[in-house]
Structure 1
Amino acid sequence: MSRNGLYAVIAILLVAIVGFGIYTYQQQQARPGLEVRIDEQGVSIDGNG
């Protein structure tokens, strides 16, 4: 394998790792940390944890 081919494989792997990291971060941010509802039944607080 030539050096250029090796550099291309490394670059593709780095792009895949960075892309997966960004995707994972966005999924973590999409979850609500705390939800407060006020309705006829009163106040209810839901949180993940």
Structure 2
Amino acid sequence: MTLSRNTLVLLVAMLVLGLGAVSYALYQEKKQPEGVEISVGKNGLSIKEK
């Protein structure tokens, strides 16, 4: 019974870590970059402060 309990604890820990990793990745993707955005288009050079 100890082996199955340890396996269950390991599985739950892996799920929590996986959820944390996915949450952090989504947070980084949604976060707006800071600084200056420089674009070159058909109207010329454009610089925007973020």
TM-score (norm 2): 0.64
Q: Extract unaligned runs of 5+ from structure 1.
A: 37-42
1:1-49 alignment, distance < 5 Å: 2-33=2-33, 45-47=48-50
Look up the equivalent residue of 1:46 and give its one-letter code. E
Matched residue count:
41
Q: Work out the CA distance in 1 between the residues paired with 2:15 and 2:48.
A: 40
Q: For residues 6-47 of structure 1, what are the alpha-carbon distances to aligned partners after superposition, in whole Å with 9 as ceiling and x for unaligned?
A: 0000000000000000000000000123786xxxxxx76124
Q: Work out the CA distance in 1 between the residues paired with 2:49 and 2:23.
A: 25
Residue 32 of structure 1 aligns to a residue in which SS? coil
TM-score (norm 1): 0.66
Q: Extract unaligned runs of 5+ from structure 2.
A: 38-45
Residue 45 of structure 1 aligns to a residue in which SS? strand
